[in-house]
Amino acid sequence: MTRPEGAPTGSWPVVPSAGICAVVLAAGEGTRLRPLTERLPKALCPVGNVPLLDRALARLAGLGLNGPSAVAVNACYLGDQVVERVGDRAHLSVEPGSPLGTAGGVGRLRDWIDGRGVLVGNADAYLSDPAAPPGPDIAALLDGWDGDSVRLLGQPAGDPTAPGTFDGHVFTGFSLLPWRLVRDLPATFGDLVRAVWRPAEAAGRLDVVGYRGTFIDTGTPADYLAANLHAAGGDCLIDPTATVTGHCHSSVVGAGATVRGTVSRSVVWPNASVGDEEHLRDVIRVGVDLTVPAA
């Protein structure tokens, strides 16, 4: 069943009812985003000069969910970087060995979740709604929840019958799970699609809540660039500590970066540099030696 789009009525911020916590999934290897993710875990890749993980935590804070008692982050691949970035802002679950997947990551946090419903968000989901700030833009996912059904945030699919859709919608990064389905999740590799979402759908206990803003899965260089360009709003988004003596068109330039040449529809990571004779278009520049085409 699909519920209407939009946040519930009322003033912001929206504070969820008691008995809800949140988990941000940040353990994945980001293989499709290589070679960018050979240097940073996907969750820390910047979009609009803000790490994706920080965007997710800010969205949860906009719902009234913050601090290690209410928010957890899992980490594995390049996990030390994730741990350092999170600090004391959330409870940390560092998975040994290989990532446990979406279901295993939540299962490993069962003792911490401890009877609560859990809002699960993918760190690599870029969401932006011009009508509502982060947090209230997904508050409809929590509004009126019965504490028993599974909810997914979604948008209508181009092909409603395509594999991977739910009630004709594509998943847009956040789901809401009841404790009754979380308490039996093992801390072994598994995904929420097979372990929770599809069984709930078959039982008639899965609802899709529409997201009216922009959603981009940043899993590939092309989509990662698209998210950055959307965050820039068609203009140049330049960190105040960057040095730009060349030309910048519809690009994002990170902290401490130097642009002496020309960049167009590109992302220049923090502390990266673009030389005098370089003309970059539709790429991501990292450091001085890595240029990743978005095509």
- What pLDDT, on the 0 to 100 scale, is given for residue 16? 52
Q: For residue 7, what pLDDT band results from cuts at 50, 70 and 90?
A: very low
Q: pLDDT of 218-249, one tens digit each?
A: 999 999 999 999 999 989 999 999 999 999 99
- What pLDDT, on the 0 to 100 scale, is given for residue 9? 43
CA 209/CA 7 separation, integer angstroms: 10
- What pLDDT, on the 0 to 100 scale, is given for residue 13? 47
Distance of alpha carbon 24 from its chain centroid, rounded?
8
| Spatial strand order in the sheet of 2-3 | 2-3, 206-210, 150-156, 169-177, 117-122, 20-25, 71-75, 91-94
- What pLDDT, on the 0 to 100 scale, is given for residue 49? 97
- What pLDDT, on the 0 to 100 scale, is given for residue 18? 61
Mean pLDDT of the 266-283 span: 97
- The closest alpha carbon to 216, from 231, 238, 199, 194, belongs to 231
How large is the C-alpha radius of gyration of the chain? 19
Percent of the chain with pLDDT over 70: 94
- What pLDDT, on the 0 to 100 scale, is given for residue 1? 52
User: Nearest 5°: phi and psi at 189?
Assistant: -60, 135
In the predicted model, is pLDDT for residue 123 greater than 70?
yes
- What pLDDT, on the 0 to 100 scale, is given for residue 8? 46
- The closest alpha carbon to 63, from 181, 4, 143, belongs to 143
Mean pLDDT of the 127-139 span: 96
Q: For residue 162, what pLDDT band results from cuts at 50, 70 and 90?
A: confident
Q: For residue 161, what pLDDT band results from cuts at 50, 70 and 90?
A: confident
Between 2 and 141, the more confident residue is: 141
pLDDT, the chain, mean: 93
Q: For residue 2, what pLDDT band results from cuts at 50, 70 and 90?
A: low
Mean pLDDT of the 263-275 span: 97
